[in-house]
Structure 1
Amino acid sequence: MAYDSATIKLRSGESHRNFPWNDQSVLEPQFQSPYSTEAVLTMIKDGTYPSKFATFLRTQTQVDEEFGVVSNKSKHIRMKGHEENLSCTLLFQKELTPSDVGKLNRLVIPKIHAVTYFPNVFGIAEAKNNEMDVDIEVVFYDKLMRSWNFRYCYWNSSQSYVFTRGWNRFVKDKKLRAKDIIAFYVCEPINLRRGEESFSLIDVIYYNEDHEKKQCFEEKEDAKKALGNMLSSSDEVEEKDEGQETKDIKDFDALHSPNNSAQKGLRLFGVCIS
């Protein structure tokens, strides 16, 4: 790891690495940029590099309070056909609904993301003074570097932004279901060279139903144990307070006697329960 950190400064990160790039190491060049080569090597030698880099990561990761989103969205992704990883910036994610993967053959893009990251199809329709749906073609790649072409349009009838043609094929190929998450990125090689271009990436995060069932089962088992402990505790209390129990029975009998004018109810451990 020390060698990998040093080679970023000494050789611009283009030499052999002992460990592949990851979400943290991809930020090391940015961390090292204010320091001289001598300063970076000194930190590595005296062992202060990891702690200072960890501090840098904490200060770089800031939470957007308005949307609850982490502002540092850089992710390191290795894709087929690329010898080095790609630096990919997350644009947005969406959890798929039953209608997104159903017979409607369309994906609804939330308006806030559509107007921020995708071409302005609504503006095109307004410019043409056209009440008909305006569509364009957008291209994304997956991690296998296969291209996916989607018809992207604005529906005047429902005032929504959608993927139509091409989406159904993507759903079937990826075997998507409701609660799966699709993520949209813009990617570029770490060491961008002349002639290379950034591109758009679409990725899938599959919903782990088995994990949720296991978690639900564990929660139920914990609840059963807690209930069992509570009942056991109650049994111990009852054994210790047999005299109190006898008193409660007498209170109950007195409460329901014809001569009693008090409030009707059940007294348990001296407390009246209506």
Structure 2
Amino acid sequence: MEKGMLSMVSFAKRFRVDRFKGVVPQQNGHWGAQIYANHQRIWLGTFKSEVDAAMAYDSAAIKLRSGDSHRNFPWTNITIQEPKFQSLLTTDAVLNMIRDGSYPSKFADFLRSQQGETDVGGAGGGGGLNLSSLCGDGNFFCTLLFQKELTPSDVGKLNRLVIPKRYAVKHFPTVPESDEQKQSERVGGEVQLEFYDREMCLWKFRYCYWKSSQSFVFTRGWNRFVKEKGLRENDTIAFYLYESKDGQSFIVIDVAKKDEEQHEVVGCGSSGREEDSNKRKGIRLFGVQIYQP
């Protein structure tokens, strides 16, 4: 786990979700959430991703800090219903649901009962954050970093994805080498990279350099991604940088199947640079137009 630690520090500053209010890293790689109310620290639990912990803080803040305008994520057409949901519950009930992980599903049940919806969005079972809701109010804008059409070997038995060198050098951290690795002619160092998909599920990949083929590759974690996403030859994967107006940022890995139609639509927020959309080409990503820089 120590391999690539220094490189990952600088990488995290650029590509991982920035530090959120009420979120603290744990030694086991998970993320804790906490909130202060009435001069007391209230522990909200431990979560697998930083985004989940940040969402837990936002939900708790509705009940405990109603006058606090600072949120980790902007209000969406889904989360705007949370105050009404929580008004039916005691403070202890809300906190207990956040801690035991049942809050998203119970909030989803509430939305269905109120609106008759069968799909209220979000990863892992409704009521959660997804990129469509994030971009819906224009608080986030996105930039295409790069995309790649998958080759037979990328989705085959080699269980690895080759990252084109020009993109690896530009967008990913330098892969360090230990003394032992410097003696090897086959493999360089490795780091772990983290990305979110369109449902805001966290994906972790081992990223390393193969000296024998002079290739930058994703290894561990890639095969699972291929299977769960149903990837095939000639499908395309793309990496996007999402940034908010208040400085939060994260990287999204997304998939475009070869037979999917692409359309041009309105972008998901302004980056502060006014440009003529007729002069820029992009692709449609889950309901928003992503323009190439």
Query: Structure 1 or 2: larger helix share?
Result: 1
Task: Give the shorter-chain TM-score range.
Answer: 0.3 to 0.5
Give the number of the structure whose alpha-carbon radius of gyration is greater: 1
Which fold has the larger relative contact order, with Cα–Cα distance below 8 Å and residues 6 or more apart in sequence? Answer: 2
User: TM-score, structure 1 length as denominator?
Assistant: 0.43
